[in-house]
Structure 1
């Protein structure tokens, strides 16, 4: 694909430098006493002036799945045989899906967070590096699809670290965000992440804005994830048509945008390599994001940006 070979590599990682300087007043209403001046409502609860932040995930998993992993095909393979057609479904994710999505993100001017399975990165190193070179965030997603929550402490720590090391080796990016397989972290996961230098995780559905917890006596951010606007649940799980997917995500956006006039709101959308990278789903994303970008105060941010902004903001919710 020509677009993939001619992209301009992004510069250094985005930082939050300068954000604090542009901080909006924290009061909800201007207290101006000038004659004839009406109080002005606070339009944003985000430090950089955004009204509504859109957080986009692109899961890089294909190639790291176990043999005979779940797929759209009937789960009736006889023991001892490989599900060869299902393997090609996963291969689509790195052969066609992610390259197509990357071109689309460039056209839309959107930067995303890619949650990368370590073994998938090692199998497709040039693609993993390209994601980072195009200015997107590489976040950790385990070393493989193993069941993480059953692992003893030291085994889980090695499992997470191996995935991080694979990402760093191939892309040069130090992952500071984490996503467990199907969000199913264990009792020790947050402690381990804090010990390994992570700033945030996404395995939480409880809010529509980031919040801070104390882990190992330090601040640790939750950047909430989504099932409501997630292609693997809606397209594969519920067999939504593309029109149904677009309508659901659009209605979510409209409500969140309305709420964001008075409170901090983050909307999350998730795409998986072999699902979100299909032609019709890329068209769906193009239609949705073009619509969203027409609304004043909407910004698309990587999750590391959101986490850092949450840490800087003294008004971030603490639990």
Structure 2
């Protein structure tokens, strides 16, 4: 069966051949059109390191950095002037139980992930932030707090991003080169600022299932696409999926992308949040899913900084 892109190329060639053939009597020229019958090049389906399908896992480190009375599973009906103590304990679970449990699970699976860290959460739980890096995972920036950065001025946003990066560097020693805005809502200046601050990539984009490069401030800048389809905060909290529904959705996503990866470069993104993905049943779900995925030939789990660097090095990476 012909894949869609090959079909489009072949259809285009046939149309061109027909136009040329019909134009011959008028032009009075003899052309055999042999060049039109050449088989189109196969698209580069392999990653630079030979992977068939790359899986990118995010672990959001946000708890402890949330504002007062932040969104939670509890009814949003707190009276003004009172603190939502129940919601506070929900967030505390993220750093007391969730991340430690996920870290042990990643070790069991032999998987390295990218942790998007809110600066104020890092400062509140420095030992945990450092442990994430010490266990071989990437620390990526996620703002200094949960502020709405797309409304900030250029200078205020730059300061906001830098403060978050500095917090990660001071506590973990890691130089963050990847960025994720709160709910992916970056502003018009965000990419320019990230490029100025030495970042290599951002993830606030849902438009592709593979990384791509664009020019920012005249330099190459990578987008490593994120996900809402395989995201615990969207599915478990947002849509009230059961664990079985979550497993089924993520598995079906994997199966389709793995099939496509035979002919196209594919990346799958999966996202876990500290207070959601670190619950016992979700850790079991991740174990079941990743064990299934790792049985497939050519599947590799990679940190997002690794994906970004590989995309920059590969001359066949898509450019927008």
Over residues 63-92 of structure 1, what are the superposed CA-to-partner deviations in whole Å (9 max), with x where a residue is unaligned? 000000000000000000000000000000
- What secondary structure sits across from 2:290 in the alignment? helix
What are the residue-to-residue correspondences of 1:1-319 with 2, within 5 Å? 44-319=45-320
Contact 2:294–2:300 (CA under 8 A) maintained in structure 1: yes
- What secondary structure sits across from 1:267 in the alignment? strand
2-structure distance, mates of 1:305, 1:71? 33
Specify the alignment match of 2:20 in structure 1: none
> Where does the alignment leave 5 or more consecutive residues of structure 1 unmatched?
1-40
- What secondary structure sits across from 1:261 in the alignment? coil
| TM superposition shift of 1:43 | 8.7
1-structure distance, mates of 2:191, 2:249? 32
Contact 2:232–2:277 (CA under 8 A) maintained in structure 1: yes
2-structure distance, mates of 1:167, 1:129? 9
Contact 1:44–1:50 (CA under 8 A) maintained in structure 2: no
2-structure distance, mates of 1:103, 1:166? 24
| TM superposition shift of 1:50 | 0.3
Over residues 254-276 of structure 1, what are the superposed CA-to-partner deviations in whole Å (9 max), with x where a residue is unaligned? 00000000010000000000000
- Answer with 1 or 2: which has the greater Rg: 2
- What secondary structure sits across from 1:57 in the alignment? strand
2-structure distance, mates of 1:291, 1:197? 37
* RMSD after superposition: 0.9
Q: TM-score, normalised by structure 2?
A: 0.86
2-structure distance, mates of 1:290, 1:60? 24
Over residues 256-308 of structure 1, what are the superposed CA-to-partner deviations in whole Å (9 max), with x where a residue is unaligned? 00000001000000000000000000000000000000000000000000000
Over residues 106-133 of structure 1, what are the superposed CA-to-partner deviations in whole Å (9 max), with x where a residue is unaligned? 0000000000000000000000000000
- What secondary structure sits across from 1:54 in the alignment? strand
Q: TM-score, normalised by structure 1?
A: 0.87
| TM superposition shift of 1:44 | 4.1
2-structure distance, mates of 1:129, 1:266? 28
1-structure distance, mates of 2:44, 2:220? 27
| TM superposition shift of 1:45 | 1.9
2-structure distance, mates of 1:148, 1:181? 8
2-structure distance, mates of 1:128, 1:171? 6
2-structure distance, mates of 1:168, 1:42? 40
Over residues 124-147 of structure 1, what are the superposed CA-to-partner deviations in whole Å (9 max), with x where a residue is unaligned? 000000000000000000000000
2-structure distance, mates of 1:119, 1:310? 31
Contact 1:43–1:51 (CA under 8 A) maintained in structure 2: no
Over residues 21-72 of structure 1, what are the superposed CA-to-partner deviations in whole Å (9 max), with x where a residue is unaligned? xxxxxxxxxxxxxxxxxxxx98942000000000000000000000000000
2-structure distance, mates of 1:215, 1:257? 31
Instruction: Compare the two structures and name the one with the higher helix fraction.
Output: 2
